[in-house]
Structure 1
Amino acid sequence: MSERILYTSVRDPRAKPLFDGLEQEYGERYRDVIARIGGTPRDELERYPAEAFAPPHGAFLLLLRDEDVVGGGAFMRHRDADTAEFKRIWTRHDLRRQGLAQRVLGELEEQAARQGYRRVYLTTGFRQPEAVGLYLKQGYTALFDLQADPESVVHLAFEKYLDPIAPAWPAAPAEFPRTHGP
């Protein structure tokens, strides 16, 4: 079994499992909210143009295991040149609790640092306690009261300051030739 990180575009057909998985998860967890405010989970996934997640200001990656998409994530510039906003962090439902999200998050952090970002900002939904746990475990600071009812906060924001990394790869790759073992 081999795993590798593929830097690509949100338009890449190989990204379909990520977007389908996120759409299903958002639909299940937030069905009542979506019914109340209108729209669809796919609307949320298409809120940003593909270019937002492309170099030089963004990145989109897939985690492949034996060429199957098992995870992924992206980032884009957030408000200032020093801050990346992480989005679309996902792992395949049947492969959770294997460290895949941690791996995706770590790779996104490294790439954001290579692209010159010093800070990460991200939000997660109020019905995603697994994500909250992951971000806290990975050294993110909650920008909300952790004791508050998550449903009253709605968008749970986090931040983390990155260690600068000297660029080891070109800043705007189509794909980094990296293969990681298990």
Structure 2
Amino acid sequence: MTSVAPPPPLSAGPAVVHVTVSDPRVEPLLRELGDEYSARYGKDAHAELARYPDEEFTAPYGGVLLLLLEHGEPVAGGAFRRYDETTAELKRIWTHSAHRRRGLARRVVAELEREASARGYRRIHLTTGPRQPEARGLYLTTGYTPLFDTEADPESISPLPFEKHLPAAPPQKEAAGS
């Protein structure tokens, strides 16, 4: 009797990796993000991206997430920081220009929400700029409530705030013998 090898597992896409802002794999995404924001808004956006200290994006209050392709190439990422005691603020959501239209930003947002919820946050707050219709669309389609008049000219509102309430995280199981 000959056995047939099972088919290889389907790829779940890029691996989720938690890193610090100072990890060298983050730099290419932030550089491209700064370049694109600078082009869209007509001023150097790199200083804005460096406005928050790296510590605000580390545990226990914040986190950075990076999605990597199998070859180790950074393709999408994002971060969150403490906004207030029960609210996390999403920042720096980004997909490399060569990897867009694959659902990676949606996956980054979902992973950041999951991580924020696990850390006890019950609400997400974020803002996006008026010249980022892709981001506005992403947040509207992933369940975020706009905190602005969606019929108004986005340029008259800037920045565009959103919020989303998170479900309570499931209780942590106690380790055996505790």
Q: TM-score w.r.t. structure 1 length?
A: 0.85
Check if 1:77 corresponds to 2:82: yes
| Residue 159 (structure 1) shift | 0.1
Check if 1:8 corresponds to 2:28: no
Aligned-pair identity in percent equals 52
Q: TM-score w.r.t. structure 2 length?
A: 0.87
Structure 1, unmatched stretches of 5+, are 35-39, 170-182
Counterpart residue identity of residue 68, structure 1: E
Does structure 1 retain, via aligned residues, the 8 Å contact 2:76–2:96?
A: yes
| Residue 108 (structure 1) shift | 0.3
1:158 aligns to what SS in structure 2?
A: strand
Counterpart residue identity of residue 46, structure 1: A
State the superposition RMSD in angstroms.
1.4
Structure with the largest fraction of strand: 1
- Rg: which structure is higher? 2
Check if 1:44 corresponds to 2:55: no
The whole-number CA distance in structure 2 between the counterparts of 1:58 and 1:167 is: 20
Structure 2, unmatched stretches of 5+, are 1-10, 174-178
Counterpart residue identity of residue 115, structure 1: R
2:61 aligns to what SS in structure 1?
A: coil
Q: Would you say how many aligned residue pairs link Structure 1 and Structure 2?
A: 161
Instruction: Select the residue among 123, 129, 132 that pairs with 1:125.
Output: 129
Change (3 A) 1:71 1:168: farther
Instruction: Select the residue among 140, 146, 157 that pairs with 2:161.
Output: 157
| Runs of 4+ that moved beyond 2 A | 166-169
Per the alignment, residue 110 of structure 1 pairs with 114
Note the alpha carbon deviations across 1:33-73, whole angstroms, 9 max, x for none.
x2xxxxx2110010000000000000001010111100000
